[in-house]
Structure 1
Amino acid sequence: MRLTHIKLSGFKSFVDPTTIAVPGRLVAVIGPNGCGKSNVIDAVRWVLGEASARQLRGESMQDVIFNGANTRRPAPRASVELVFDNSDGQLQGAWGQYAEVAIKRQLTRQGDSTYYINNQVVRRRDITDLFLGTGVGARGYAVIEQGMISRIIEARPEELRAHIEEAAGVSKYKERRRETENRLADTREHLQRLADLQSELDRQVEKLQRQANTARRYQELKAQIADKQDLFDYSQWQQALHQADSATLLYQQHGSAQETLQQQLEALEETLQQLRQQEQQQQQQVREAEMQRAGLREQWARLEEQIRHRRDWQQRIAREQAQAQTELQRLHNEDQQQQEQLETATMQLEEQQLQREEWALQAAEHEARMPELEELAHQGERTRQNQQNELARLERELAIKQQQQHHATDSITQLQQRQQRLEEELAQLALPQNEELQHAQETVAELEQVVSTLEENLLQYEQQRESAQQALILAQQQHRQLDKQQLTLSAQVETLTAMLPQAERSSVTGATDTDIPLLWQHMQVAPAWQHATSVILGYKLQAQYTEQLILADTLLEQTTVWVNQAGEAEKQPPATNALLQYIEVQAPFTQAIHYWLGQVWCAETLQAALLLQTDLQPHQLIITPEGHCVDAVSVTLYTEDNGISLLQQQQQLHEQQQALAELEKPLQQAAEAMQLAQRNLENTEAQLNQCQQQLKQQQQRWQTASAQATELLARTSQGQLRREHIQQESAQISSEMTQQQQVQQQTQADAENLTLAIEQLRPQLQDHTASQQNQQQTLKQSQLALLEARRQQGLVEMAIVRLQQCIQSATQERQRIARDTERWQKRQSELALGIAEQEMDDEQTLQTEELNAQIDVASERCAAAQQQLQQLQQQLQQAQQQQHTLNSRLPQLQADTQTALLQQQEALLNAKRFHETLQQNNANLDTLAEQFAQSAQATPELSQQIAALAQKINALGAVNLAALQELEEAHERAEYYQKQTTDVQAAIALLEEAISTIDEETKTRFKTTFDAVNEKVQSYFPTLFGGGEARLDMVGDDLLSAGVSIMARPPGKKNSTIHLLSGGEKALTAMSLVFALFSLNPAPFCLLDEVDAPLDDANTSRFCNLVQQMSAQTQFVYISHNRLTMEMAEQLVGVTMQEKGVSRIVEVNIRQALDMAEA
């Protein structure tokens, strides 16, 4: 595995996207001081996971982002990517299967740091784990920065041990051990928390146990009350049912007796008719025998019969008149009572209405004040919040200005020191002149400006393309959403259309479906009464109209309503409570609807319909919105089904069709927006492609010019380059000093202004805070007063409704009394007419006495005939007497029947009420029936028992009903905690065993690697020094914690400590250690930053020879100013800074250059 490319963008001085190709095994990075060479090393360390800004020569991690230059704006982000050739599969793990692996890190100015492996977002740990044990890492021995050589040799034993561990591959074991120890510590903390939780839970369980016992007792008592109450309701229900059955039986008995009596009266009437006919025949016979006697006898008999009949009838009238007088007196008394109740309720109603108006007035006053108070409170809060935000902003700006002032002061001091050093160095240098080099540099700068402009344009075009793509995606999403809505609405319309009935008309009239209108298609019903209309019309909603009805066999087989009369209904407005007032119907069904629904009235509730039942005529009925029907003699209750009515389907279909029509215009607009976004995207991509071609051409020109400038720069002496650099840096320092001084003065003035503004704003904020609190208190008091007024108004409204119901009930009762009084007065008048006819009876009595004298004379002559006539008259009299008796029994029997019917209805209503109560309580009727059969307790005893249980519940005091569930949950948590404790203890044992295993493996690997590295150090040290000796010593006996020290003795010296060595000797000693580590565990690549700086030519030659030997296994990328080290490189990477603060790369392949020169 080797490093092939380093890609930088916005990282420190590499502001432009820069790619450094490193195809060779020996790559030298060269350039003048300060041009940004070491930034390449920093970039590699940063992308490998370096988290310390100090290690990257910065104060914060934001310092790695390009901060701008004189002609450049600050970069928004920093990005570094390393591309590796992994064709040999050296990398292990999931990424080892890829022939090319790219790791990348991005950092924005918002502080968002993101890591990538092959463009997939990963964690920082994934980056470090990828190179564990290879020596490559942010702190690994494969990256040697400036000054690190001396730090290695002078490092503490613990720090040297870290390098040995990395070479031994122990670092991943240490990482695992550290993670295991952290897990072990977390696990032990978890175990302690579990113990604390268990202790706390035990105290909760003890408390909850007491509460749960009380709750159980409470539930037991409540259950007993519920059982007793259910048994009480069941007994009342059974009693009501028994009373209903008794009343029903009595009603049936009275009805049967009434029917029998009526039949007897009818039979008796037939008998009377027969006797009268026989009497007339007998009288005719007597008349034929003795005409005069028969006539007299006939008159006497007729008069006698009338007198007797009238006397009986007068007796019955007298009794009925007495009864009528009694009923009239009773009704008068009841009317007086109802009148008094009505007057009392009316007075109370007026008082309550006055109170309602008073409370409504108070509520209106508070509501009128409420918006003003709320606006004042909100305005005060906004003012306070704005001032608080302004104060916080001023304080933040003050802190920033103070920090900027401090930073400017430090920067001025540093710049003055740098300026002094540069002036001293500039005094020793001469100013060279090179017009050709200046011209080449100007050309490169111009091309760089052009390339930079094109890159900025390319970035803008890419952003425009992203915006166009986003707009296209949004337009497509909106179009798809609208299209989906259209499909959904279309499916709903089709479903509702399919649900509507389609009549089979062709076999009846010969017409098509569109020719014959349907009733439900020609009527509109208010939504609240659609269901009631569907119930009352039923299948008539599908009624069809035809002018000529063709009677066929198929017609007789269908259940279809045909309307064949289309006359106009009578033009009169419907009554206020008629169902027709909620229906709009079109021709030709107007007459039919008025005929079917003309006598249908509306009532909001079933109770209201029952109150109006007595006023209904036989052809009238009342319907409720739920579909319950009430006529003059019955009530039909409607049971809900799971479907919807035809009219409701029609309403839903109309609404869905309207929504579908409204959706067409937004759908068309979305399609046009999608087409416009597509055209914008195509135009932007065309501009982007054109800009990319131009950028490619300018980059080629820039590369050619840069190569020419590099060639001229190579022929220029080091002194000329240094002088130019000093001049540029000196000018930059002067400019920066001026800027920093201006910044210092400006920030000081700004800080003083901000301090003054803060001091002025704080008292205002305190005043507004106090004022806002007062406003909030006033608003709260007004809200409470408004709530109280509304509550009192609601109570008064309830009292008014109750009094109105009482007045309505009293009025209805007085109307009933008036009707009964009128009926009895009418009967009394009829009886008075009967008494007036008594004077006629006296005259008939005188006529009878005269006829008796005449009859006595002729009686002897008609004895035989008279005897038969008397017998017939006796039979007729008996029949009439019997008829009178039966007629006298009939009114009482009718009254008893009506009384039994009222008792039956009252008992059924009571039974229904108790049965509904039992159903609401989900009572088991079978169980209650058994208990009721076994129990001998009476209803008063059950009531006493229920009251006693209620007292016991009150004696329990406050009861936590959730204690039972909380106790159960507490037991479950205790069991869970116990299980977790066992698992955690097992995990602790497992982690301790894992740590022991890791320690043993670490000891073995560390000891083996230490011996091997020590052997290699003893071999490489004489090679680099040309003699002498060096070794590694272990500091401490514990292989897990023992440090490592190095002892070195150059040829001819006997120094006692490593610190006595010179700088060059320390560098060679450190190199022998590093190369020893590389030989034992070769890293894929090695980065060296000016490690040859302290070496002379002889030591440099030996260093280069050793590096060339090791390059067979390790790729070396090094920064150097040494000529011998440069000559060793296979590829030169030049770093320039022609534009102040911006680094650029110039690459030269030495082998290719030599091949070209030889050719």
Structure 2
Amino acid sequence: MKIKKLELHGFKSFVDPTVIDFDLPLIGIVGPNGCGKSNVVDALRWVMGEMSAKHLRGQSMEDVIFNGSDSRPPLGMASVSLTLSCDDGIIPVDYANFSEITVTRRLYRSGESEYLINNVACRLRDIYDLFLGTGVGTKAYSMIEQGRIDFAINSKPVDRRLLIEEAAGVSKFKNRREGALRLVESTKANLLRLNDIIAEIKRQINSLDRQARKAERYKVLREELKTIEVHLSALTFLEQSQELNDLKNLLKSWDEKETETQARLSSSEVEQGSLQIKMTESEGQLTELQEKIYEVTNQIQLLETQQTYKKQETENLKKQNDRYLHEIQLGKEKRGQIASELDDYNKQKTDLSNEVNGVHTVLEEAQTRWNIIHEQSIQETEKIESGKNELSESQSRMATSESQKTSHERQRIDMKGRLARCRAEWGEIEKQYQGSQGLCGEVKEELMSLTAERSQVLEYVAHHKKDIESKKLDLESRAEILKQNQETLVLKRSQLRSLMDLQRHYEGFQDGVQAVMRQTKLEGKRDRIFGVVADFIETQPQYEQALSAVLGEKLQYVVVKSHQEGVEAISYLKEQCSGRSTFIPLEVREGKTAEKLSREKGYMGPLLDHVNIKEEYKKIGNYLLGDVVLVDELVNALRLWQANGHKNILVTLEGDVVDPYGVVSGGRRNGKSLDILKTKRKISDLKDIVMEMEQEASLQEDTLSQLEGKISSMSLDLEKQVRMSHEQEMQAAALEKDLFHHQEVFNNFQERKEALEKEIAELSSEEENIENSIVRTQQSKEELLTLRERLQTEIELLQKNHDNLKEELQKASERLMEARIAAVSADEKVSAIDKNVERLERSNQDAQSMIDRHMAEITEANQKISTLKQECEECVRSWEGLRQDSDSLKIHYGTLKEEYEALATQKSEKEIEIRTIRRENDLAKDHTGNLRVTMTRLEGDMGHLENQIQERYHTNLREVAAHYAGKPIEIESPEEKVKELREKLEKMGDVNLGAIPEYEELIKRCEFLQEQYRDLESSIESLQKAIVKINRLTRERFEKTFHLVNEKFKVLFPKLFEGGKGELYLTDENDLLNSGVDILVQPPGKKLSHMALLSGGEKALAAVAFIFSIFLVKPSPFCVLDEVDAPLDDVNVKRFHQLIQEMTDRSQFIIITHNKQTMEIANALYGVTMQEPGVSKIVSVRMHEATAAA
């Protein structure tokens, strides 16, 4: 399983999708520190399942997601895919059919993770299992960095053992053994729990055995009681059936009378219905016409509004065009000014160019003149020195002659003259030197003061820039928050409008309620029909279920002013067939009052105390909820009912209800009543939220406005300080030029002063020598006098020439300095003009861009104006057509209204006829009603008797009654017998009839659990055998691998160290499952020692020997080495390279390095760079191709 390629996107510094191909056996990854090389290793670790953020050099796992840079925003996801080639045959069995395996891991900033193998979602455990036992993994020896080298050296022997285990392939066995041990422990715990359950079940069996025998006795007595009671009830039922048949015959005659009157009534009602249908059709047509008129009117208003808007939009566009034309004119004027300024600057530059050329010409001439004079001065100095040498020779000859004495005396006089001249010149130079030194000091002080001031300004500018950037970030953050809040506010407003629309149209209410409230709105009767009960009643959320349970459909009762409005509304519903509704008048009679039970447990007071009702509707509230008491839970409600009888309705917070007669209702309500209260509460909550969010948005807008103003003010101040800094920079440059000039003059004076001092010292020394020579050369005075005079004359002439040349050289130096200063000044003027020209050209381009943009916008606006004009004309034509349609519809509406009124008159006449027939029908109904009441009572008695037998004995009395017809009961005093049996049953007390099936069920369950217990014991035995087998395999493989690695280590260590010896040993040879692995080494010329006593380089080399010994025994498909060669010197690096090259035929190596020798052995190099700050890029080089190209 060698690495074929690695794909990264958004992982640490690899923000862009990046693919690294690892198709060669030895790959090098190079790059400067901090460029992201180690991020490649982190990506490999991460995709193979690393879960420790610390091992990935982060604080949390979210740190692996690209967090943004100066030029890039943060990403929301990190993704790494590792493609492995399976050509080497090392592949898990589950993936044997694949030539490649791609492992993908993604992490989202929300914290969600995805793991995929070959694009199929999997678990992290599956990725662990994929690499387990292959030598590859986050904790295996395939990933070796400097920290891993330290791990091999400094870790505990038990931790070092893990590397041997991975090579032995027992890590998978070890995981299975740990899983088996956990399973054994959990199975043992299950056994204990199962044993407790079995003991409890046996205890229950003993108890149920007694209850089952009692239940059998109970069933015998109850069966005898059932036989007698069913027989008695059947005889009674047969007598009541005969009486019921007689009443049915009498009812039949009155039914015929009722049918005859009902037929006449139905005929009249059909005719009335026909008239009603016609009226309904007419009314529908009227309504349809009204809607059409309303629709046409709305369309007319909409067209008028659109026309007004389009005119306003046209005016706005024209104003915008005028503003843009004005700005364009200003832009053109600005471009003209810029062009004029550019011409001026170009002329200045042309003039300056000539000046610069002239200045440079003068500078070259001055330099040439200075060079010539300097050369002549050197020549004259050489001549003077030659004359002096010659004079010195003559003086040496005067040692034996008297005439030389005279020559020395003259020389002494000459020396004194020269000394006087030199001293006089030194005095003058000293004065000029002191003055020049003072000027330099003043200029330096001024320059230092200006530099300090400019540093303060620059510091202020930098600080202000940071403040402005901080405030801009704050502004952007606040603007984003405001935008999000505004979006949320729009959403909340939309939700509020939707809920208010539902409430306004009574969505979810009964059809009858919707029809009444819709008609009330159309006819404007809100002063007589006020709404539904839910409109006027409110409560807190915790009481909504209780209130909904008590009121239920009563929440949809329509509140009216009096009964008259309710009767009219009911008539309307009947006429329109629009459903049913209940109406409650304001002056409804008050109901019962809830009893005070403040001392009772669970009592929370009358429900009315927890409900808010408007004052004018208090009576309705008292009627609906006056006798309702709120209790915390159903148990307490039942206890209160038993203690206080049937005086109040009891309701719990969860909506369970106990009525005064003890009937209990409860469960989970899914009805509309609770939705009505919730919708009303949601509307109230949303209103508060919207109001609060609007206030908060207003405050945020004010804060943004203030922040923008502050940023603008700070920006102006910053521009002022920047301009000041530029001015100070120019002043500093001028002072530096002055300082350079004064320093040059000062240096010249200092050099001349030092030369004179030296010359004075030399002359003084010569004068002393001459005085001494005069005594010795008195005899040669006459002979050498002529020679001295001649030499004196020559030297004086040469000295004069030399002094003249010095003066000319000084003047040439001054002219040269002036020419240099003039050249620098002219160059700076040209540079300043170039900068101004560049600035003006940018301004000219900006002005032209503004003109082009505004011209395009004016063209677009003119097109919009033309379109709006056409749309306005179209609106006028549509308006005229709609106005004609409206007039026509109104005429048609008047005609239909007359037809509707005629039908209403016919309907009234028919209603009078129907009332007469209905009175006759009502008389017949009274008789039939009375008979039916009697029959109903009789049927009720029979039904009660049936239900009683059904409930007690689960027997259908109607079916068994015929069996007992004509069969009197054979027992004397059956009623007494029934009483006796009942007393026996009551004396038995509570009987658990379910004990018999429960007893049988428990016997079966106990047998099943005992079987489970035996199975668990068997599974524990199997697991322990498996653990023993795993331990045996682990010992064998670990021991074999340890000895093989030790043999390789013994060979590799002296090979890398060119001598010495090293070996591995077990800390506890008797415990191969847990023994640690330690290392003993002996470098050449040293005593046997532990690894911890070695030097840094020796440790690294010994650790490499240890890890590569493992590789030689169990080569990992690939190996990643992260700067492992860093602590090695050149000699050891070569040995390290040789070792790697020997192993490339078995494993793939990826080396991250700074070592040039290591780079040279790589088949390919990948360079990691950061051309863009914070963003890593990959550049690849194929070494054999590069070598061939070279």
**TM-score, normalised via structure 2 length:** 0.43
**TM-score, normalised via structure 1 length:** 0.44
